Structures are given as C-alpha cells and as structure tokens.
Structure 1
C-alpha cells in the first residue's frame, strides 16, 4: 500500500469517525432534551397531585393535625 493509499484510508476513517461522532452527539442532545422535558412534566404532575390530595383532604374534613400524624 502506497503512502497516498494509506493517507486516503486514514482520511476516510477520520471522516467516518467524525460523522459517527456527529450523529451520536445529535442523538445524545435529542435524548437529553426529551429527558429534561419529561422530568419537567413529571414535576408539574407531582405538584398537581399534591394540590389535589390537599383539596381532597380538606373536603374530607381532615385538619392539619390529622395530616401530620
């Protein structure tokens, strides 16, 4: 194999590695954004659930002392 062939093979390999890294970075970014969005949604749902439980407890006539036991 000549130096030119080796150089081309090395460049091809570098290009393939660069493309693979670019795709992996894009996938990681997408997954990170989806995870952050889902965590935010879950946090909102937990807050809403806490509010609903408090409202139900109030409707059932439970006072603050009963809740803390």
Structure 2
C-alpha cells in the first residue's frame, strides 16, 4: 500500500510540475505579446500615427 501511495504522490507531483511549466510558458508568451504591443504603440507615437480603436475613418472623397 505504501508503494501505491508513493507512486500516486510521484505521479501527482509530475502532473502538477507539468501544469506549472505550461502556465509559465503561456504567461511568458502573453508578456512578450504585451511588450510587442507596447513597442508598436511607442513606434506609432514616434512616427506621428494616431491609433484608431475599432473602425478606420474613410479618407476624404471615399464612400463610407
């Protein structure tokens, strides 16, 4: 019985470790995306481009 309990604990530990590693990978991916979005916004600001939330405005003379 002790061997079964020990094996179950080891399996649970391995599953939790894998889950934590997956969560860390996803968190790092989200952080990189956030950094990229910030860098793009900064570049757009430096270039004088305004950010449009949602729809883009039609240019003069274009049908909407």
Pair 1:25-2:24 in alignment: yes
Q: Which has the higher helix share?
A: 1
Can you list the C-alpha shifts for 1:26-56, whole angstroms capped at 9, x where unaligned? 0011111111011000011112127xxxxxx
Under a length normalisation based on structure 1, what TM-score does the superposition of the two structures give?
0.67
1:38 aligned partner: 37
TM superposition outliers: structure 1 runs of 4+ over 4 Å: none
Max Rg structure: 1
Q: Extract unaligned runs of 5+ from structure 2.
A: 50-64
The answer to which structure, 1 or 2, has the higher relative contact order (CA under 8 A, 6+ apart) is: 2
How many residue pairs end up in the alignment?
49
